[in-house]
Amino acid sequence: MGAQPGGTRRQQWRHTGNHADVAGGIIAEFLNATTTDKVRNACQPHRQHHCWMPRPAQSLRQAWYTSATEARTIAKPQQRGLSMSTHPQPDIHIFPTPAALADEAARRFVALAQAAITARERFTVAFSGGSTPRALHQRLASAPLCNAIDWAKVYVYWSDERLVPPDDAESNFRMARETLLDHVPIPAANIVPVPTVGGTTEDAATAYAETMIAQFGSELPQFDLILLGMGPDGHTASLFPGQPEPTAPGDALVLAVHHAPKPPPDRVSFSYKLINAARTVLLFVAGADKAETVRQVLRGAPDRAKLPVQGVQPTHGQLSWLLDEAAARDLQ
């Protein structure tokens, strides 16, 4: 992600390529009409609560020390040394409740953001959909954690998206906007949604991949953090059992997904190649309905076609599973 010749780092990080040609203009118009104004308006009360700009370093350290101490108190007695059937052992942490899980996910998000901004002056993250990310977003939007991030240096993408308009109730972008992005001072230009209108699913996947390649300045973008969940069927992002990518992974960065077993049927998803290039992947799972699948994934034989989440194996990065007690029930 080196700076472009003759350009600033800010100039490098902008919407480029076919993203605008295919559908980005429509998305940009939507963002300008909604997100920009809503973020600007939402930030006014945050100024009063110190969420407009990060607090001084001493206050930041104190806020982080308090949060990290609470996380260790929750996590340490529950951590267990489980291993995958193949590949290096991921970090696995078990928490008593979904709320405690979301607390830890938010603390890790802040720590990774601070480290990335210190090291590279930016933090790139890919969000996912689902109920657990919603709880994470709400924590990040609230003090003290919202104070601990320099949002002007955060760049947001999505690991998967439904092919619906950005204001549709099924949109992962809309969920993130309503639960987090409208409530923190992140510049609209730093928000890079999947272009879900104005073209086909294939157009959207191609445009999104080209946008990331242009913005990261690399044929294989490396995210600082990719957030993922897991469904009861073992799917992650929009990689579903029996579909082409889990069965035989290819070289594409972003995939057009059709005939998804849960509506809506048409989606766009990161591929294993892009997911596994990340520096950190946080995979959080909550709920008793996922307990048997968690056991199969972490204790059973490798079967990526049947359990697509088993294909999440960062090449050089760190994979961490955050589970609540209900999801981890069968790992006893």
In which band, very low, low, confident or very high, does the pLDDT at 131 lie, cut at 50, 70 and 90?
confident
What number does CATH give the domain 12-331? 3.40.50.1360
Task: Give the model's pLDDT for residue 3.
Answer: 37
Report angle CA 193, 109, 237 to the nearest 5 degrees.
45
Contact assessment for residue 46 and residue 38, using Cβ atoms and an 8 Å cutoff: no
In which band, very low, low, confident or very high, does the pLDDT at 90 lie, cut at 50, 70 and 90?
confident
State pTM to two decimals: 0.80
Task: Give the model's pLDDT for residue 5.
Answer: 28
3-state secondary structure 240-259: CCCCHHHHCCCCCCEEEECC
- For the chain, what are the domain ranges? 12-331
pLDDT per residue over 182-235, tens digit each?
999 999 999 999 999 999 999 999 999 999 999 999 999 999 999 999 999 999
**Using the 8-state DSSP alphabet, how is residue 331 labeled?**
G
Report angle CA 296, 298, 299 to the nearest 5 degrees.
65
d(CA 227, CA 195): 20
d(CA 54, CA 66): 17
d(CA 181, CA 173): 9
CA atoms within 13 A on the CB side of 299: 14
Which has the higher per-residue pLDDT, 89 or 163?
163
Q: In a 10 Å sphere around its CB, with 0-12 CB exposed, 13-18 middle and 19+ buried, how is residue 315 labelled? A: exposed
Task: Quote the tokens at residue 271.
Answer: 């591929």
DSSP track, 48-102: HTT-SSPPPHHHHHHHHHHHHHHHHHHHGGG------SSSSPPEEEEESSHHHHH
pLDDT per residue over 256-303, tens digit each?
999 999 999 999 999 999 999 999 999 999 999 999 999 999 999 999
